[in-house]
Chain A
Amino acid sequence: MNEEEKQVDVIEIKEILDASYGARIGTWLRICSACGLCAESCLFFLSDNKNPRKSPAYKFKNTLGEMYRRKGNVDRDFLIKCSEIVWGECTTCKRCSMYCPFGIDVATMITSARTICQSQGIVPEGLARTLIDYRESGNQMGMSKEDYLDICSWMEEDTAEEILGLTIPIDKEGARLMYTVNPREPMYHPNEIAMAAKIFTVAGEDWTMPSTGWDCTNIAMFAGDRALAGHVVKQMYDKALELGAQKILITECGHAYRSAAFEGPYLAGYRNGKPPVPVVHSVELFYEYLRDGRIKIDPDRRLAEPVTYQDPCNVSRNGGLWREAREIIRFIAKDFRDMSPNRDHNHCCGGGGGYIPMGLEFKERRMRSGRVKADQIRATGAKVIITPCHNCFDQVRDLNNEYDLGVKIVTFKELICEMMVIPDKFSPLEEPDATESNPGEN
């Protein structure tokens, strides 16, 4: 690397530092008393033999703290070192903020440090790629609108054969719920959309899927690109406003909920911090369906095997939906075994905060830091693990292989679809001359 490449735009860094500096960051940076209580809350510290360089306080002091100390006069090498910490050693799960006596919100400071690194083009390759896709296509996987709509109508046709009257309404105005998904679903697991459609139909839901702004994920938020992250989430808000939807429903994805309900309003410029349209997560909705009897579970089909639940950080801790998830489990499983710790205090799986999209380059580290989660899962003795988050799902799947956990990983949708009672009115009509049906299917 020659001298010129080592240059960074110090003026820009100073500007971002100045803009991020508020009473909170100013106070946090000064009052940390170096007590070290945060260390043991962090999975990176625990999984790395209690390496003192992995404690949350060490990480924020040596990244954002150091940037402020040097008043922004940093070089490229320093920022590269920072990037290793802010992306490679933190998933912004916010667990440490609950273990700090002062409630120092380390994740917020790590996010600011990410913004600085990203402003100088220092960002993990896997995340940088999604930024291009978001800009070009509006979603993180670069899926075209046509492909997405094709998948929706394909799933509609397919599933209508099982559930009479099932439709996947696109851009329906004034629906109660606008259902948004993770592009991973239309891209690789279109069946997830079909399953959601089944549940909504049986529950008699008034819902729609939007033709734009359908991607509720926000990898730009984890990449530190605040402007783009705001744009991404605004697309979704604007579409919901345009359609007059009463609520935005988020698929079983953790960070999408954090983005839409909590970080998004600020990123998109809503200064009061509230999304313009209320946001609901699938976990909350499914719980309401079961509670209100809109979906009924066939008791004979309830899971008999031991089941555990992976609380996604962004659903349980950063979304507060840990009660609802356990209520759903009471309906669908006979032998539930909680992990320890659990609920809002659960450990991150190690795949959050952008870690999964960071790709193969980071996989080895992801498996190492995931040891904490693997141990937690093994200790439950569960054979099935439920998690309502795409990143947790992928991480637990990888951990399952890496650590031979022997568990089956499922989502709530999947289980509800397997177990729900489908009233007769949805049974496909018995047609003796089933000319239209495709013998290759079913």
Chain B
Amino acid sequence: MSGAKMTLPVRSSLVALLQRESAPWAEDGERVMDPIYELLRGPVLWITFLVFSMGMIVRLAILYRLSKERDGVFYNHVDMKWGLRSIGHWLVPLGTRSLRSQPLFSIATYIFHVCLFAVPLFLLAHSTLWNESFGVSLWSLPDRLADFLTILMIGAATFLFARRLVRSEVRILSAPWDYVLLILAVLPFLTGFLAYHQVGPYRLMLVLHILSGEILLIIIPFTMLGHFILFFFTRAFIGFEMGARRGARPW
């Protein structure tokens, strides 16, 4: 109970902070223009969204063109029923034999992915920003739930990191970049959590939080993180190929 009482003012102060035109860093409430915050929150954010969306569109366009020329096998055997089953089974927790073979990993990766989407999109503080910047009003997560999800996400990511190191068949496949990507994915959560709870230097945390989030979004189109969209195509394909065409169930 005491926890709830403590977090409430912090939350409102953070929302209030973010709602102001510029962020006041001084503890005594004196408004100080902060150029770095302004930059990250303004033009850099726009560039981030632009690079992210254009990058993904261009990547998909290139793949589409290439596929039209080289991947007749993709289009020849299209069967939406098999495609959707192939996707659906893998979106359900423990929905496939493969996922059931390593339940701990499957649950960790499920939590990791769900949080990676839900928390940034629906966090109350972000919602406020969405509303303020774009006039979009999204459904928002209660802060306590968001907090809980953030801790879950950090826990899941730690597990995934450790698994990379511990399991020999995973370690041998993992390049340094795979570890870096995992850290990059968890960094906005960690810094956001610390900033929210005002642990450590608040201003630095907030700046790092925004910066790491922006870096993550920017690299998505250029790395394997593009799988957030490409997953649906590769999975649909194996559904067409193994399922519709050959009659095996790829899940």
Binds B, one of A30-38, A76-84, A381-389, A420-428: A30-38
Q: Which of B86, B227, B239 contacts A31 (CB 8 A)?
A: B227
Q: Which of A28, A32, A35, A94 contacts B242 (CB 8 A)?
A: A94
User: Closest A-chain residue to B181, C-beta based?
Assistant: A33
A344 touches B227 (CB 8 A): no
A103 touches B235 (CB 8 A): yes
A356 within 8 A of B: no
How close is B51's CB to chain A, nearest CB, in angstroms? 18
A22 within 8 A of B: yes
Binds B, one of A54-62, A162-170, A370-378: A54-62
B2 within 8 A of A: no
**B43-86 CB contact bits vs A (8 Å, 1 = yes)?**
00000000000000000000110110111111011000000001
B74 touches A318 (CB 8 A): no
B73 touches A273 (CB 8 A): yes
A320 touches B247 (CB 8 A): yes
B25 within 8 A of A: no
B171 touches A31 (CB 8 A): no
**How far, in angstroms, from A34 to B174 measured CA to CA in the complex?**
6
B90 touches A58 (CB 8 A): no
Interface size class of B (residues with CB under 8 A): 35 or more
Binds B, one of A7-15, A45-53, A141-149, A430-438: A45-53
Q: Which residues from chain B contact A266 at a C-beta distance below 8 Å? A: 72-73
B237 within 8 A of A: yes
Binds A, one of B29-37, B94-102, B116-124, B151-159: B94-102
Binds A, one of B9-17, B162-170, B190-198, B210-218: B162-170
Q: Which of A53, A58, A103, A341 contacts B86 (CB 8 A)?
A: A103
**A92-125 CB contact bits vs B (8 Å, 1 = yes)?**
0010011111111100000000000000000000
A154 within 8 A of B: no
User: Closest A-chain residue to B227, C-beta based?
Assistant: A31
**How far, in angstroms, from A105 to B71 measured CA to CA in the complex?**
13
A40 within 8 A of B: yes
A36 touches B173 (CB 8 A): yes
Q: Which of B69, B167, B224, B250 contacts A98 (CB 8 A)?
A: B250
A27 touches B70 (CB 8 A): no
B233 touches A27 (CB 8 A): yes
Interface size class of A (residues with CB under 8 A): 35 or more
Q: Which of B63, B77, B102 contacts A273 (CB 8 A)?
A: B77
B249 touches A33 (CB 8 A): no
For the complex, would chain B's binding face be called helix, strand, loop or mixed by DSSP majority?
A: helix
A307 within 8 A of B: no
How close is B24's CB to chain A, nearest CB, in angstroms? 41
User: Closest A-chain residue to B245, C-beta based?
Assistant: A262
A347 within 8 A of B: no
Known: A101-B90, A104-B234. A50 touches B168 (CB 8 A): yes
**How far, in angstroms, from A266 to B77 measured CA to CA in the complex?**
13
Q: Which residues from chain B contact A55 at a C-beta distance below 8 Å? A: 169, 172-173
User: Closest B-chain residue to A258, C-beta based?
Assistant: B246
**How far, in angstroms, from A103 to B227 measured CA to CA in the complex?**
12
B169 touches A52 (CB 8 A): yes
Q: Which residues from chain B contact A21 at a C-beta distance below 8 Å? A: 66, 70
**How far, in angstroms, from A23 to B71 measured CA to CA in the complex?**
7
How close is A105's CB to chain B, nearest CB, in angstroms? 7
A63 within 8 A of B: no
Q: Which of A45, A52, A105 contacts B238 (CB 8 A)?
A: A105
B226 within 8 A of A: yes
Q: Which of B69, B72, B164, B249 contacts A344 (CB 8 A)?
A: B249
A52 touches B171 (CB 8 A): yes
A97 touches B250 (CB 8 A): yes
A272 within 8 A of B: yes
**How far, in angstroms, from A357 to B231 measured CA to CA in the complex?**
37
How close is A44's CB to chain B, nearest CB, in angstroms? 12
**How far, in angstroms, from A26 to B239 measured CA to CA in the complex?**
18
**How far, in angstroms, from A290 to B203 measured CA to CA in the complex?**
77
How close is B102's CB to chain A, nearest CB, in angstroms? 7
A70 within 8 A of B: no
Known: A23-B74, A52-B169, A319-B246. A41 touches B98 (CB 8 A): yes
Of A271, A322, A345, the most chain B CB neighbours within 10 A belong to: A345
A24 touches B74 (CB 8 A): yes
A101 touches B172 (CB 8 A): no
- In chain B, positions 83-118 with a C-beta closer than 8 Å to chain A are 86, 90, 96-99, 101-102, 105, 109
A contacts, CB < 8 Å to B: 21-24, 26-28, 30-37, 39-41, 45, 50, 52-53, 55, 57-58, 61, 94, 97-105, 262, 266, 271-274, 316-322, 341, 344-345
- 25 residue pairs bridging A and B, Cβ less than 8 Å apart: A21-B70, A22-B66, A22-B70, A23-B74, A24-B67, A30-B223, A31-B227, A33-B224, A36-B169, A36-B173, A50-B168, A50-B169, A52-B169, A52-B172, A55-B172, A58-B169, A58-B173, A97-B242, A98-B249, A99-B96, A101-B98, A317-B246, A317-B248, A319-B247, A344-B248
B contacts, CB < 8 Å to A: 63-64, 66-67, 69-74, 76-77, 86, 90, 96-99, 101-102, 105, 109, 164, 167-175, 178, 223-224, 226-227, 230-231, 233-235, 237-239, 241-242, 245-251
